[in-house]
Structure 1
Amino acid sequence: MPEIRPIKDLRNTTEISELCHQIKEPLFITKNGYGDLVVMSIETYERSLGKLELYQKLAEAEAQIKNGEELLDGDEVFKDLKKKHGRK
């Protein structure tokens, strides 16, 4: 269930910050009974961006498969990454 608060609650910034870190989800702010803002911790924001990037890459990979493009070998990719980043 989403957390929803009235805009007047933004006066207590410490409480809002603690709540955002506690729920680890966006906090919805209403103004005059209507949705107005979304507030979240940086960690939640970065996690959301990471998920979005992953979904975009998955969609791109699915399009490449659908178009019959040559795919990379997973073992080779991980081997190259380990070599590039100094892991054996």
Structure 2
Amino acid sequence: MPNIRSSADLRNNYNDISSYCHAYNEPVFITKNGKGDLAVMSMETYEEMAGRIELYSKLQEGLADIDAGNTRPFADVMADLRHRRERR
């Protein structure tokens, strides 16, 4: 169940909200005038979420390449990498 707090609660009880975000690794939703306004989360939770989004984006790119036929046999790729390494 989401933790929903008012903007006044954020202002008056910042430390409690911060502690919650760090302890439970989930956002606290802040309302303003009774309507959703913000989602507050710890930096660690944000960075983890951003990393997942980046990973999913890379996976989607790879799947799109497969669908478009932009692939090469593994043995060819490894041979190219070995060749590049030897040129150094």
TM-score normalised per structure 2:
0.77
Looking at structure 1, the residues matched to 9 and 73 of structure 2 have their Cα atoms a distance apart, in angstroms, of 51
Which runs of no fewer than 5 residues in structure 1 stay unpaired? 81-88
Consecutive unaligned residues of structure 2, counting only runs of 5 or more, are 82-88
- Deviation >6 Å, runs of 4+: none
Q: Which digits, 9 at most, give the CA deviation of each residue in 1:5-49, with x for residues without a partner?
A: 111111222111101112211110001110011110000000110
Q: Distance in 1 between matches of 2:27 and 2:72?
A: 37
Which residue pairs with 1:37 in the alignment?
Answer: 38
Higher helix share: 2
Q: Distance in 2 between matches of 1:3 and 1:16?
A: 10
**Over the residues paired in the alignment, what is the CA RMSD in angstroms?**
1.9
* Corresponding letter in the other structure for 2:41: M
How many residues are aligned here? Answer: 76
2:27 is equivalent to residue 26 of structure 1:
yes
Query: TM-score, normalised on structure 1?
Result: 0.77
Mapping 1:73-88, distance limit 5 Å: 73=74
Pick closer, same or farther for the CA change 1:7–1:63 going to 2, 3 Å: same
% identical aligned pairs:
51
Identify if the C-alpha distance between structure 1 residues 59 and 50 changes in structure 2 by more than 3 Å, giving closer, same or farther.
Answer: same
* Higher-Rg member (1/2): 2
